[in-house]
Amino acid sequence: MNPSEQGRFRYEGLDKVIHEKARLGILTSLLTQAEGLSFNELKHLCSLTDGNLSRHLTILSEAGLITIHKGEHLGRPQTVAMVTAEGRKRFANYLSVLEQVLADALPVTQPSSTAAVPES
């Protein structure tokens, strides 16, 4: 094996904070909303329980990827989450690694399973 292949499939840039499935969904939905999303909207979009969403928001916030604002909406307390500039940058880097995974893997899966990959 070619020594230059060392770590070829390590994918070190798959940041664990972002890569976790629920957090990947939360970040993607927040990215589409410059003004942020409320706790209930996120719950709905990501199909998460209160406890899970709360736990993942804390992890994302502690990692500096999002900010959490406690405010009020129609007289009731409301939590709103927004992606930070740092979060946006780290997410873009993460996505470039995902693109690399697809570039590595799609050419070898498609010949035998084109039907399973609708966007090819």
Binder among 50, 69, 86, 110 for a second copy (CB under 8 A): 110
Name residue, tokens 């070829």: 8
Residue 74 as a binder of a second copy (CB under 8 A): the answer is: no
Question: What is the C-alpha to C-alpha distance for residues 29 and 54, in angstroms, rounded to an integer?
Answer: 15
Q: How far is the CB of 9 from a second copy (least distance, A)?
A: 4
Asked if 80 and 36 count as a contact pair (C-beta separation under 8 A), the reply is yes
Question: What is the C-alpha to C-alpha distance for residues 11 and 117, in angstroms, rounded to an integer?
Answer: 22
Asked if 66 and 81 count as a contact pair (C-beta separation under 8 A), the reply is yes
Residue 63 as a binder of a second copy (CB under 8 A): the answer is: no
Task: Please give the residue ranges that form the binding site for a second copy (CB under 8 A).
Answer: 1, 5-12, 14, 16, 19, 21, 24-29, 31-32, 41, 44-47, 88-89, 91-93, 95-96, 98-106, 108-110, 112-113, 116-119
